[in-house]
Structure 1
């Protein structure tokens, strides 16, 4: 065994021992998610290495196994046969070498010659300034069984950023794929003046020897301000188009858009593999909510493009840190392109989680303003609404169909606490044609309001909502809008109410299921 491999194994063993000492306490937390991927304890961020290998799906994630704060990054690891039920595996990567001693940053995975290969960014701090004093390289690790990984002895395989208007140190998060027997890799980057994000394209015949091709998007060619750094790029074919997913940092607010610290979206177009240029349209958000970052995709057994993202946001409050853990993944979602727009729908197999259910049809909703509405802002009034027996819970799925009727707005309040006044409100404004997710009264954690444009079809609003102990994920229309949020309500805040304002709305149908792993 090479000495560096021994160092790596020792680092992994220490990390596992740290997790083992904390995970039982963490498992008892009332905000602990029941059907979302999270680390056994401590910090988690970007999904990594999302892949299919030997009949199972593998998902890795950025992980600090010693603290609830971001720190030197490891790769946590789970696997699944169905993308619904996940099994925790040993930590896959630890920072143990000179080229990655301060973190095994984000990357991806691919099967090559029967082995599962990981490509990741090795990070080293060269001074006190984490934005300026760093060195980033690209490295490989491989596994014969999909569980135990060995770092490639020839690392790093990409030792430096290319010359040109490319920042020499901020280039990271490799995403690899195969096209016509050649391997390709894209990396997130920025210009030397740190004003514009961009994506770099590399090519290799063997995963080992890489040649820089071009800046495929962003940089000096960007005609609108799309942030100063593009993190976690992903490129794949979907239908007859190519899709570039990235997470721009530093975008300015624009009306209802880009209110999070950083964004995640995609651009539809076509990659010319000969020239290395990606001709594309405008950025489309993948999620209009609060907590969705660094999405990564894979192709499943059925040929569907599946995406998972980090369900949190940088520099936001994370109340679960006081309970020994921080961060989680979104549920898996299926991406399609329809009418030139990206569509996002929850993975159909999530229905395996459904347990006890109730069903209601054709219930009228009439305006009724709550007595305490005078204590809140006029545009965020609380409504008493209607309750239905069995429609409640803290780990619940809802399928809802509203007929707008004469109301000016209507919606649903979730995780309602009768005594605490807590609620997370999803409402539709018929005049502005906007869907609003309001977590101003959701409990602990950050508040805020997010809005998304959405046109109704024949006056009908369809919703599919996934509620977990400290999250809510909304899918509206026919895949047009997704909105995700971490929320931290009290243990008694499990009520659900339906409301209408200034008129009458018909609740055509509502199905409610209890969900559990």
Structure 2
């Protein structure tokens, strides 16, 4: 959230180790979403309602600019319950101390409300209805039905469960970290969470515990009936439901940035390394670069783009003019700190007739695994090779590949980690998705933010995102190299390439 000109990031943290456990709310602040200063732990077990852990939740800004937090606590019976905390001193822009309501828990599972006590967590930011009542969602499941339970309150303390969830879906399992927010039908500006009029659509996002991915639905919110009607639902085919990110990205949360009138998305990126390696290095888990998000002009999907402030870390730019990249060609991008870089590249296709025929539909991640960067076809793979060691024993490739399928041109977007590390204890999964771009009439753009062990890639101007968590052993620091490549048989044109070395952000006081 943003308060008195400062951004506040609260996150799940184990102060006693690099593995999950002893969960508290850590707290960092920033003026720019890039450089962060840690503060003391904000919320930690101290009441019966959270004595066994303070789990995820959300901040809400009440009228008058007063922030409050709803969060999940684990009680002495290991039941999941919802609690309230508020700042001790509103004049403190750092909000260093938080006080818990004496009425906690405010929401609890009972036999009467038929809530599964082990699957009742992660309250959202609340929104205010026209009737003056607050509404909040809590993630839940009943059997295999995932659902967003709805609660209402007049005073933010006394909450009553609605008869029906805001939305539910069969066979999806537990909905963790739900999020619900409006987006403008036109334009890239964000809007406050309680806005609901003819100019907006609504987004419902769920982190599916069974799949460990963040899925979102775009639809209409009926405020009178308090239900959400998606344009396309989970029940139709979960593989066609949109995701924020097709790599390692989970438990995300948005907030409205009132200072810059944008909606900002924050996500957690888990490790690819083994637990033993995490313990050895002493930490695990990172936050992705904050992303601004808005509804694409087609209305069919969201667009995501790194917040503009990250560009303040750019230095020593390298720019290429138009270059033809022949089949099998590899061009090194020199004069860049390749282990810590921001790269934007655009391609143009001339001969779509060389595209490979796709005879039947294949899951794009499987397709990326079967046809990695070393498998040649007519149009592709072409893109970037990042975090590459000097002999190419290690590298991560992010690329496009064009297919013909049922008289359409399909653009496959992949992030191939299969050769990212010589440490075979790492997760070397390859990720992929189709990106909604017409390769004949639109440029194929790719932006990758590279930061030692993480590669966040944005395809099609932010229509598709893939975050890779890689742990190279050779391609580290000065041992890392960066290339543009084309391993297809047909030439492609690089219409532009801009790359920057990235300065180090201040994180945790370093």
Of residues 292-301 and 311-320 in structure 1, the stretch that sits farther from structure 2 once superposed is 311-320
CA distance 1:148–1:433, shift in 2 (3 Å):
same
Q: Which digits, 9 at most, give the CA deviation of each residue in 1:400-453, with x for residues without a partner? A: 111234551012110000246110011211125201110011114210111110
Give the CA deviation at 1:215. 3.5
**Structure 2 partner of 1:330:** 288
Give the CA deviation at 1:399. 1.0
- The reply to whether residue 385 of structure 1 matches residue 371 of structure 2 is no
- The reply to whether residue 345 of structure 1 matches residue 305 of structure 2 is yes
Counterpart Cα distance in 2 of 1:289 and 1:404: 24
CA distance 1:314–1:154, shift in 2 (3 Å):
farther
Counterpart Cα distance in 1 of 2:279 and 2:340: 21
CA distance 1:469–1:80, shift in 2 (3 Å):
same
CA distance 1:313–1:326, shift in 2 (3 Å):
closer
**Structure 2 partner of 1:30:** none
**Structure 2 partner of 1:269:** 219
**Structure 1 partner of 2:158:** 209
- The reply to whether residue 176 of structure 1 matches residue 125 of structure 2 is yes
On the 8 A contact 2:446/2:459 being kept in 1, the answer is yes
CA distance 1:481–1:172, shift in 2 (3 Å):
same
Q: Which digits, 9 at most, give the CA deviation of each residue in 1:459-487, with x for residues without a partner? A: 52111110101100001112210111111
Give the CA deviation at 1:102. 1.3
**Structure 2 partner of 1:424:** 396
The TM-score normalised by the length of structure 2 is 0.79
**One of 490, 501, 505 as aligned partner of 1:514:** 501
Corresponding residue SS for 1:367: coil
Counterpart Cα distance in 2 of 1:88 and 1:462: 36
Counterpart Cα distance in 2 of 1:289 and 1:392: 26
Corresponding residue SS for 1:99: helix
**Structure 1 partner of 2:406:** none
On the 8 A contact 2:379/2:490 being kept in 1, the answer is yes
On the 8 A contact 1:317/1:446 being kept in 2, the answer is no
CA distance 1:433–1:327, shift in 2 (3 Å):
same
What are the within-5 Å matches in structure 2 for residues 232-381 of structure 1?
A: 232-239=177-184, 240-250=200-210, 261-282=211-232, 284-300=241-257, 301-312=259-270, 319-338=277-296, 339-340=298-299, 341-368=301-328
Q: Which digits, 9 at most, give the CA deviation of each residue in 1:36-87, with x for residues without a partner? A: xxxxxxxxxxxxxxx1212221110011000111002100111122222222
Corresponding residue SS for 1:147: coil
**Structure 2 partner of 1:413:** 385
CA distance 1:456–1:415, shift in 2 (3 Å):
farther
CA distance 1:169–1:353, shift in 2 (3 Å):
same
On the 8 A contact 2:336/2:501 being kept in 1, the answer is no
Counterpart Cα distance in 1 of 2:274 and 2:205: 23
- The reply to whether residue 197 of structure 1 matches residue 146 of structure 2 is yes
Give the CA deviation at 1:272. 2.1
On the 8 A contact 2:150/2:166 being kept in 1, the answer is no
**One of 487, 492, 495 as aligned partner of 1:505:** 492
Corresponding residue SS for 2:152: strand
**Structure 1 partner of 2:464:** 481
**Structure 2 partner of 1:15:** none
On the 8 A contact 1:288/1:451 being kept in 2, the answer is no
CA distance 1:391–1:504, shift in 2 (3 Å):
farther
**Structure 2 partner of 1:110:** 60
**One of 464, 482, 485 as aligned partner of 2:447:** 464
Q: Which digits, 9 at most, give the CA deviation of each residue in 1:116-142, with x for residues without a partner? A: 31110111364xxxxxxx301111111
**Structure 1 partner of 2:365:** none
Give the CA deviation at 1:165. 5.7
On the 8 A contact 1:422/1:493 being kept in 2, the answer is no
What are the within-5 Å matches in structure 2 for residues 50-69 of structure 1?
A: 51-69=1-19
On the 8 A contact 1:199/1:215 being kept in 2, the answer is no
On the 8 A contact 2:413/2:433 being kept in 1, the answer is yes
- The reply to whether residue 77 of structure 1 matches residue 27 of structure 2 is yes
Corresponding residue SS for 2:386: strand
Give the CA deviation at 1:505. 1.4
Corresponding residue SS for 2:20: coil
Give the CA deviation at 1:163. 4.1
**Structure 1 partner of 2:107:** 158
Corresponding residue SS for 2:18: coil
**Structure 2 partner of 1:394:** 339
On the 8 A contact 2:71/2:122 being kept in 1, the answer is yes
The TM-score normalised by the length of structure 1 is 0.78
Give the CA deviation at 1:303. 2.1
**Structure 1 partner of 2:368:** none
Of residues 108-117 and 428-437 in structure 1, the stretch that sits farther from structure 2 once superposed is 108-117
On the 8 A contact 1:298/1:305 being kept in 2, the answer is yes
Q: Which 5+ residue runs of structure 1 have no aligned equivalent?
A: 1-50, 127-133, 251-260, 369-383
On the 8 A contact 1:288/1:452 being kept in 2, the answer is no
- The reply to whether residue 94 of structure 1 matches residue 44 of structure 2 is yes
Give the CA deviation at 1:321. 3.6
On the 8 A contact 1:287/1:484 being kept in 2, the answer is no
On the 8 A contact 1:290/1:313 being kept in 2, the answer is no
**Structure 2 partner of 1:17:** none
On the 8 A contact 1:162/1:168 being kept in 2, the answer is no
**One of 395, 401, 416 as aligned partner of 1:438:** 416
Corresponding residue SS for 2:39: strand
> Number of matched residues?
429
**Structure 2 partner of 1:167:** 116
Corresponding residue SS for 1:464: strand
On the 8 A contact 2:419/2:428 being kept in 1, the answer is yes
